[in-house]
Chain A
Amino acid sequence: MRPAHSVLLVVLWAHGLSALTPPRNEAAPPRAGEVRLNSTDALEYVYVPPGAFEMGCVAGDSECQEDEKPSHHVELAHGFWMGRTEVTVEAFRKFVSARNYRTTAESDGWSRFFDGKSLVKKEGVAWQIPGFEQGPKHPVLHVSWYDARQFCAWAGGRLPTEAEWEYAARGGRESARYPWGDGSTPLLGGAKQANVADESLKRRHPSLKVVSGYDDGYAYTSPAGEFARNDFGLQDIAGNAGEWCSDWYDKEYYRAPSGRDPVGPALGLQRVIRGGSWVDDASNLRASYRVRDAPTYHDSFVGFRCVRDVGP
């Protein structure tokens, strides 16, 4: 096992020697749903226990796309800590000031802004100037995969793999079509489950397709954590902002996946985005629905959340 050991050491070295310090409070394994505050980004992380699930299309889903097939068994051997919500504007501001960081959109000098009909390239749009009002607790937008990855590294974590994301999104409801269940309206026991394309959005932009009869109260983003928690204690998994995952996207990856802790293909041109956003109606909010874009991509819809292998 010596070769494996040396590879591990190199990886740890590459991530900084702080990774070698023993985790605190890990004598007893964390409970599922345990919440801890990360002092670096000031966000809460929830413990997601190890487990197995069926990834991809659920039976009877007529909207299922080719790249979601076939559904396959995936085992996640290790528990992980996942951001309870998407990364907020105020958390991102901490990162930017700590690292004197410039986002891809700022370097580009423009971003893709949703004008009510389509995405248009607009000069000056960036995470702090998103083109519509966002408070400090709203999910950060106009961030590329590179921005997201560097934020998570700063916060002591990484982006979730696509498998971790879908496992976490299902929250134990393995065969459900949507993260909140099987009904196409994000309501459960009368409680609103997600900020999606709804009647509030339709009042601003009447031509948009929305979940009809559902009003979550927000046309665009909502503060993170406004809607119900799933069975793992996570919020805004569906809707609000789409979420970057660490994997390269390959439309045929499910045909020959790794059944245990899959990390996606080694090479690619586009990164996986999951979860749908405030502009998506039900079909794009399905738990198995896959989106992808170039890692430089930034727009009014896509944000991210981080995971950590070790609790904060």
Chain B
Amino acid sequence: MNAHWPALTLALTLTLAARALPARGEEKAVKPARPDLGRVATSRKDGLTYAFIPPGVFQMGCVPGDDCAKDDRKDEGPRHPVKLARGFWMGRTEVTVEAFLTFVAQTGRQTTAEMDGWSPLFDGRQVVRKERMSWRSPGFDQGPKHPVVVVSWYDAEAFCAWSGGRLPTEAEWEYAARGGEDGKKFVWGNDPTPVASGVNQANVADESAKRVYGSWTIVPGYDDGYIQTSPVATFAPNGFGLHDMGGNVAEWCSDWYDEKYYASFPEMVVDPKGPGVGEQRVVRGSSWVDDASLSFASRRYWDAPATHMSFIGFRCARDASP
């Protein structure tokens, strides 16, 4: 039994209670009525903390009033009910550099980027191939608590398996990102600026980034204080106690990507796991290079599983408590 969890539960309950106040009189936020909601536990394997996500039903995909008609957002519809029949555990944060270091030290694994000998570097304007770029040297400074980047889907999957878990499914990810607030447009709420009650909610493309990457589209007037990645959990947790679901780094999910996947459910689908065969894996959540348009809670992104980028990382899910 983890000695810390009563204290963490209390902290989370307070957080949840604070969030339960109706925001701008619209949607009611989740109430911490379930006794299991708010449970957290730390993995002895990866040293990361996981939050229990209760089973439930939610509406997945484009929310009413959001503009998903454009070509690049058509894959977010139709909105459809999804049932997650079992509770699961989700990393409260993205996997950190220090956790990844433990994994590499214990398994001797070489990452895809290290084996390739180069990685695509986003230099602020375009993507260029940079030799010897890897999670150890992503092209900017990262401390041990920053989210690991320049990792492929294969690296992410191997890390999660090693730590006793797996990658979240796309449905689990969106359910967890909504944090009990089904109808919200952005991961952090309905306002494109990631501020709630005066508190910064996410590390996205902001005024700090614009000072370095002058040509970027950013969230105007918002300054989160970080140009690239920030230490995990620098920003506020959502209703499930999860940090950085929007911003910091985008996150690999376990599903193959299929733009028409949502159209294949005539009625409620239970525990969807994505198509059986594919070429691209789902990436969810926005990152330090993205403005609000990539931070819609339903926004879908994808990449080939061997891709490694300085703005894509991951977090793990688990069926059993760590």
- A residues sitting closer than 8 Å to B (CB atoms) are 99-100, 102, 104, 107-110, 121, 123, 145-146, 149-150, 153-154, 266-267, 294-296
- In the assembled complex, B107 has its CB within 8 A of some CB on chain A: yes
The interface bits of chain B over 26-66 (1 if a CB of A lies within 8 angstroms of the residue's CB, else 0) are: 00000000000000000000000000000000000000000
Give the interface segment out of B88-96, B114-122, B182-190: B114-122
A93 smallest CB distance to B (angstroms) = 18
B-side contacts of A150, CB under 8 Å: 109-110, 115
A-B contacts, 17 of them at CB < 8 A, read A99-B108, A100-B162, A107-B153, A107-B154, A107-B157, A107-B305, A109-B276, A123-B276, A123-B277, A146-B115, A146-B154, A149-B110, A153-B108, A153-B110, A267-B117, A295-B116, A296-B154
- In the assembled complex, B86 has its CB within 8 A of some CB on chain A: no
A-side contacts of B117, CB under 8 Å: 266-267
Report yes or no: B277 in contact with A109, Cβ–Cβ below 8 A. yes
Report yes or no: A296 in contact with B110, Cβ–Cβ below 8 A. no
| Cα–Cα, bound, A149→B158 (Å) | 16
Report yes or no: A295 in contact with B306, Cβ–Cβ below 8 A. yes
What does DSSP make chain B's interface, helix, strand, loop or mixed?
mixed
A-side contacts of B107, CB under 8 Å: 99-100
| Cα–Cα, bound, A243→B154 (Å) | 22
B152 smallest CB distance to A (angstroms) = 9
Report yes or no: B154 in contact with A121, Cβ–Cβ below 8 A. no
A-side contacts of B306, CB under 8 Å: 146, 294-296
Given A104-B154, A107-B157, A296-B305, is A266 in contact with B112 using a C-beta cutoff of 8 Å? no
Given A150-B109, A153-B110, A266-B117, is A110 in contact with B277 using a C-beta cutoff of 8 Å? yes
B172 smallest CB distance to A (angstroms) = 18
B-side contacts of A121, CB under 8 Å: 277
A-side contacts of B162, CB under 8 Å: 100
Among residues 143 to 184 in chain B, which have CB atoms less than 8 Å away from a CB atom of chain A?
153-154, 157-158, 161-162
Given A107-B305, A108-B305, A150-B110, is A267 in contact with B277 using a C-beta cutoff of 8 Å? no
Report yes or no: A295 in contact with B129, Cβ–Cβ below 8 A. no
- In the assembled complex, B72 has its CB within 8 A of some CB on chain A: no
B137 smallest CB distance to A (angstroms) = 13
The residue of chain A having its C-beta at the shortest distance from the C-beta of B275 within the complex is A109
B-side contacts of A146, CB under 8 Å: 112, 115, 154, 306
A-side contacts of B154, CB under 8 Å: 104, 107, 146, 296
A-side contacts of B131, CB under 8 Å: 266-267
A-side contacts of B110, CB under 8 Å: 149-150, 153
Q: How many residues of B contact A (CB 8 A)?
A: 22
- B residues sitting closer than 8 Å to A (CB atoms) are 107-110, 112, 115-118, 129, 131, 153-154, 157-158, 161-162, 276-277, 304-306
B-side contacts of A99, CB under 8 Å: 107-108
Report yes or no: B118 in contact with A266, Cβ–Cβ below 8 A. yes
A-side contacts of B116, CB under 8 Å: 295
The residue of chain B having its C-beta at the shortest distance from the C-beta of A154 within the complex is B108
Since A150-B109, A266-B131, A296-B306 are in contact, a sample of 20 more A-B pairs with Cβ atoms closer than 8 Å, ordered by chain A residue number, is A99-B108, A100-B107, A100-B162, A102-B161, A107-B154, A107-B157, A107-B305, A108-B305, A109-B276, A110-B277, A123-B277, A146-B112, A146-B115, A153-B108, A153-B110, A295-B115, A295-B116, A295-B306, A296-B154, A296-B304
B-side contacts of A295, CB under 8 Å: 115-116, 306
The residue of chain B having its C-beta at the shortest distance from the C-beta of A124 within the complex is B276
| Cα–Cα, bound, A100→B161 (Å) | 10
| Cα–Cα, bound, A294→B116 (Å) | 11
B-side contacts of A296, CB under 8 Å: 154, 304-306
| Cα–Cα, bound, A123→B108 (Å) | 29
The residue of chain A having its C-beta at the shortest distance from the C-beta of B107 within the complex is A99
B-side contacts of A110, CB under 8 Å: 276-277
A-side contacts of B115, CB under 8 Å: 145-146, 149-150, 295
| Cα–Cα, bound, A104→B152 (Å) | 12
| Cα–Cα, bound, A1→B109 (Å) | 32
The residue of chain A having its C-beta at the shortest distance from the C-beta of B158 within the complex is A102
| Cα–Cα, bound, A145→B115 (Å) | 9
A-side contacts of B158, CB under 8 Å: 102, 107
| Cα–Cα, bound, A279→B115 (Å) | 29
B-side contacts of A123, CB under 8 Å: 276-277
B278 smallest CB distance to A (angstroms) = 8
Report yes or no: A267 in contact with B118, Cβ–Cβ below 8 A. yes
| Cα–Cα, bound, A153→B107 (Å) | 13
| Cα–Cα, bound, A121→B256 (Å) | 14
| Cα–Cα, bound, A296→B305 (Å) | 9
A-side contacts of B304, CB under 8 Å: 296
Q: Which of B109, B161, B277, B306 has the most CB of A within 10 A?
A: B306
| Cα–Cα, bound, A295→B113 (Å) | 11
B123 smallest CB distance to A (angstroms) = 16
| Cα–Cα, bound, A4→B127 (Å) | 31
Q: Which of B112, B129, B131, B154 has the most CB of A within 10 A?
A: B154
| Cα–Cα, bound, A295→B304 (Å) | 12
| Cα–Cα, bound, A153→B117 (Å) | 15
| Cα–Cα, bound, A296→B153 (Å) | 12
A111 smallest CB distance to B (angstroms) = 10
A-side contacts of B161, CB under 8 Å: 102
A202 smallest CB distance to B (angstroms) = 30
**Of B118, B129, B157, B277, which is within 8 A of A102 by CB?**
B157
| Cα–Cα, bound, A107→B157 (Å) | 8
The residue of chain A having its C-beta at the shortest distance from the C-beta of B110 within the complex is A150
Q: Which of A109, A110, A121, A294 has the most CB of B within 10 A?
A: A109
